[in-house]
Amino acid sequence: MTDYVFDANELTFAEHVIQASMKQPVLVDFWASWCQPCQVLKPLLKKVVESYNGEVHLAYVDTDVEQNLAAQFGIRSLPTVMLFKDGEVVDQFMGAQPESAIRALIDKHMVRESDLMFHQAMDLLEQDHEAEALELLRLAHELDPQNSKVLFTLARFAAHSGKIEQALSMLSSIPDSAAEAGMARELKAQIHFGQQAQSAGDMTELQSRLAANPADCDAREKLAVLLVTQGQHEAALQQYLSLMQLDRSYNDGAGRKGMVQIFEILGDSNPLTTTYRRKMFGMLH
């Protein structure tokens, strides 16, 4: 245990949680030794909180021992994690959660100087002051290189201004646990297709090649790329699926890789992702 990761009980709760939350957010993990999800969550919470270097604290409350505390806060399911700020419960979740969800909950209630600068930059953008906004974002990044919101926005600026390598480098610096990780993967995929489209050729010509020879894998792959850049994702997925049917190993598995990158753009909840992921797995297995 450390100064900001500790066990709390009925005697220490007021000082170490309620009063301490006036200075920084305090997570309280209500757990029990017999609860398997609790055993999974406890070390993950510790790892996440320690990465904030004291900007957020973590208190463990053993509900079998501290039954009064559990009753006071209406704990009915384990694990339950509550976030205290300014002496009050401001957020909570139940059950084991992934690291990205825990970080998103904490970040939502933390005030970081770089976040204030980020929001100021967004206000400047709304007023069409792009140069000033970009400079403020760069300063925010220098102040807090780990702020993924700032990093992603700078990467998007770089991509739109044609600084592709810089954009990809920034996107690769965004951890998988960050709330912006999904958007980073989406932008990476869009950049990839944009680069491929530059040498893909003319869509009409590619369609003519396929009409003459449906087994033309090169034409089919290039047509799929152009379809993606035009937002025709289902048509592109069908072309990549057909490419897999023709030759799964073509161009180092271009059919499967293309489908995966479109899934990144669409997101896991999109019905096209669900449908074509099932088709792709069916073909692979």
Q: What is the CATH number of the domain that holds 103?
A: 3.40.30.10
pLDDT at 1: 66
Same structural domain for residues 12 and 104?
A: yes
Same structural domain for residues 122 and 170?
A: yes
User: Of 32-46, 96-110, 191-205, where does mean pLDDT reach its minimum?
Assistant: 96-110
Same structural domain for residues 104 and 9?
A: yes
pLDDT at 264: 94
255 in a structural domain: yes
Read off the pLDDT band of 17 (50, 70, 90). very high
186 in a structural domain: no
125 in a structural domain: yes
Same structural domain for residues 52 and 138?
A: no
Residue range 122-133: mean pLDDT, rounded? 94
Residues 23-66 have pLDDT tens digits of 899 999 999 999 999 999 999 999 999 998 898 999 999 999 99
| Catalytic residue of the set 5, 20, 26, 38 | 38
190 in a structural domain: no
User: Of 39-43, 78-82, 146-150, where does mean pLDDT reach its minimum?
Assistant: 146-150
Domain of 226? 197-284
Same structural domain for residues 257 and 217?
A: yes
In one-letter notation, the amino acid at residue 97 is Q
* Chain mean position to CA 56: 21
pLDDT at 132: 96
Q: Is 111 exposed, middle or buried (0-12, 13-18, 19+ CB in 10 A)?
A: exposed
Same structural domain for residues 99 and 118?
A: no
pLDDT at 111: 74
The domain that holds 166 is classified in CATH as 1.25.40.10
Which of 108, 140, 171 is a domain's end point? 108
Distance between CA atoms of residues 151 and 167, nearest Å:
9
The answer on pLDDT for 179 being more than 80 is: no
Same structural domain for residues 24 and 90?
A: yes
The answer on pLDDT for 125 being more than 80 is: yes
| Catalytic residue of the set 5, 17, 26, 35 | 35
Residue range 83-89: mean pLDDT, rounded? 93
Residue range 251-267: mean pLDDT, rounded? 95
Q: Is 282 exposed, middle or buried (0-12, 13-18, 19+ CB in 10 A)?
A: exposed
Which two tokens mark 68? Answer: 């009064």
**Other CB atoms closer than 10 Å to residue 129's CB: what's the count?**
14
Percent of residues, the chain, with pLDDT higher than 70: 100
With both helix axes pointing from N to C terminus, report the angle between 217-229 and 203-212 in degrees, rounded to the nearest 10.
150
Which of 108, 128, 149 is a domain's end point? 108
Same structural domain for residues 103 and 86?
A: yes
Distance between CA atoms of residues 53 and 50, nearest Å:
5
Same structural domain for residues 74 and 30?
A: yes
Which of 83, 108, 133 is a domain's end point? 108
The answer on pLDDT for 218 being more than 90 is: yes
71 in a structural domain: yes
Average pLDDT over the chain reads 94
What CA–CA distances, in Å, run from 279 to 49, 56, 239, 262? 40, 44, 13, 14
Helix (H/G/I), strand (E/B), else coil: 77 = coil
Active site residue 38: yes
Same structural domain for residues 56 and 92?
A: yes
What CA–CA distances, in Å, run from 144 to 27, 141, 178, 209, 277? 23, 5, 14, 52, 38
pLDDT at 2: 72
Which two tokens mark 145? Answer: 């290189």
What CA–CA distances, in Å, run from 164 to 181, 190, 206? 18, 11, 27
The answer on pLDDT for 215 being more than 80 is: yes
192 in a structural domain: no
Distance between CA atoms of residues 42 and 46, nearest Å:
6
Taking a C-beta distance cutoff of 8 angstroms, is the pair 104, 179 a contact?
Answer: yes
Residue range 229-243: mean pLDDT, rounded? 96
34 in a structural domain: yes
Same structural domain for residues 88 and 170?
A: no
Same structural domain for residues 169 and 252?
A: no
154 in a structural domain: yes
Q: What is the largest CA-CA distance in the chain?
A: 81
Read off the pLDDT band of 249 (50, 70, 90). very high
Percent of residues, the chain, with pLDDT higher than 90: 85
Residue range 72-77: mean pLDDT, rounded? 95
| Count of domains for the chain | 3
pTM: 0.64
CA end-to-end span of the chain: 47
